[in-house]
Amino acid sequence: KQEVTQIPAALSVPEGENLVLNCSFTDSAIYNLQWFRQDPGKGLTSLLLIQSSQREQTSGRLNASLDKSSGRSTLYIAASQPGDSATYLCAVSLWDSWGKFQFGAGTQVVVTP
């Protein structure tokens, strides 16, 4: 059974610092991995989708890397802003269950002005 772990569970940084969020998974036979942002009581906003054949994806200040062999993905957010405060979730899908995401518990981020 795929297990997804996100460390740390919570993170507080001053504005302007770079954020590094970690996600690890136990089964390397993933189909893809996706990073989401969730604001309190709100829905999921997709940030980056990395296919199993890719090593990283970038969008603006966001960069996500994928290392299947070590079962890890890292989300980097450059020059953090208070508006980046949210919970960030990582989710993986396996080759034999496309689209059935297994989510991590998330990292709650607070960026202080």
Partner 1 sequence: AAGVIQSPRHLIKEKRETATLKCYPIPRHDTVYWYQQGPGQDPQFLISFYEKMQSDKGSIPDRFSAQQFSDYHSELNMSSLELGDSALYFCASSFQPGGHYGYTFGSGTRLTVV
What does the binding site for partner 1 look like in residue numbers (CB under 8 A)?
31-32, 34, 36, 41-46, 49, 51, 89, 91, 93, 97-106
The H-assigned helical ranges of the chain are: none
User: Minimum CB separation from partner 1 for residue 49, in Å?
Assistant: 5
User: Minimum CB separation from partner 1 for residue 45, in Å?
Assistant: 8
Return the number of the residue (34 or 80) whose C-beta is nearest partner 1: 34
Return the number of the residue (9 or 79) whose C-beta is nearest partner 1: 9
Return the number of the residue (80 or 102) whose C-beta is nearest partner 1: 102
Backbone angles phi, psi at 82, to 5 degrees: -55, -30
Q: Which two tokens mark 103?
A: 């989510």
User: Minimum CB separation from partner 1 for residue 71, in Å?
Assistant: 18
Query: Letter for the amino acid at 51?
Result: Q
Return the number of the residue (43 or 83) whose C-beta is nearest partner 1: 43
Beta strands in the chain (DSSP E): 4-7, 10-14, 19-25, 30-38, 44-51, 56-59, 62-67, 72-77, 86-94, 102-103, 107-112
Residue 37: CB atoms within 10 Å: 21
User: Minimum CB separation from partner 1 for residue 15, in Å?
Assistant: 27
